[in-house]
Amino acid sequence: MKKVLFSIMAGFLVLAGCSQSEEKPAKNDEVPQIIEAVIEVPETINPGEEAALAVTVKHGDEAVTDADEVKFEIWQEGQKENGEMIEAKHDSEGKYTADHAFAEVGLYYVQSHVTARSQHTMPMVSIQVGEAKAEDSGAGHDQENAGHEEGHSHGHGGEVTIELEAPDQIHANEQTQLSALVDNEGEPLADAKVRLEITLNGATPQWVNMAEEEPGKYTASHQFTDAGTYTITTHVEKGDDIHEHTETELTVH
């Protein structure tokens, strides 16, 4: 009887040891590899001319050829409610394309909606159709840069600081200019990869790539589709040495 009891107890100990060895703490600091989408469109075209629209989607170094959905949303400046959505088809090596004719003179916006690998990203560019009016030069620039508020954010290591700037008032379904000021040891950090991870109430995050406007200053335009308090995580990467992120909350009305 003693031998049987000993065998049973030994069996429990082995199972307990296996259970403990399999339970490894999750790494919460790891940032998932995100999809990147780069739009290619002509900067200017003539009225009535058909333009080739393209967006190249990558997941790390891998071309995404199996995106769940890729569409282009197109609207004339100030008339987003009258915009249209057209579906893009995969061409080759992660490039999705569509053709669209722009009938009237004016400034148009083209925003790609890419859903792939359980992620969503919405990069946007503009196209000038015909000649721009003189008063349109720089239109909206002062409004976009006025009334910015500084985000409460700093990098974990203390050497990299990240400040997210946004307008005081943000409204749903309007283009919002966002800026990230990034310093490393008190100096502007240039040539970094800066991305925004935007979430609302735990929904699937939207990823936005920021462009470097000047050393240490990165900008992007984003449209918040719903009102609410968004959590924006600003990710900054450069080489193997710098990988910082910080969170900022923005209220959208």
Fold match between domain 35-131 and domain 142-252 = yes
- pLDDT given at position 18: 44
| The residue to which tokens 């008190």 are assigned | 186
| pLDDT tens track, the chain, 253 positions | 444 444 444 444 444 444 444 444 444 445 567 788 888 998 889 998 899 999 999 998 899 999 999 999 998 888 888 889 999 999 999 999 999 999 899 998 888 889 888 888 888 888 899 886 644 444 433 333 333 334 434 334 447 889 999 999 999 988 899 999 999 888 999 999 998 989 898 787 888 889 898 999 999 988 898 999 999 999 998 887 888 888 899 999 9
Q: Where are the chain's structural domains?
A: 35-131, 142-252
Pair 47, 104: CB distance under 8 Å: yes
Burial (0-12, 13-18, 19+ Cβ within 10 Å), 92: exposed
Q: Residue 63: name the closest of 33, 89, 34, 93 by CA.
A: 93
- pLDDT given at position 206: 85
- pLDDT given at position 2: 47
Report in angstroms the alpha-carbon separations of 243 from 165, 200, 204: 20, 24, 22
- pLDDT given at position 30: 53
Contacts of residue 159, defined as CB under 8 A and 6 or more positions apart, other chains included, come to 184, 185
Radius of gyration of the chain (CA): 24
* Pairwise CA distance, residues 177 & 144, whole Å: 6
- pLDDT given at position 242: 87
Give, for 164, the enclosing helix (H) or strand (E): strand 160-167
Three-state DSSP state, 8: helix
245 CB neighbour count, 10 Å cutoff: 18
| The residue to which tokens 């990230």 are assigned | 180
For residue 24, which amino acid is it?
K
Stated pTM of the model: 0.51
Domain 142-252 has CATH 2.60.40.10: yes
Strand partners for 218: 180, 212
183 CB neighbour count, 10 Å cutoff: 16
For residue 67, which amino acid is it?
A
Q: Which fold has domain 35-131?
A: Immunoglobulin-like (2.60.40)
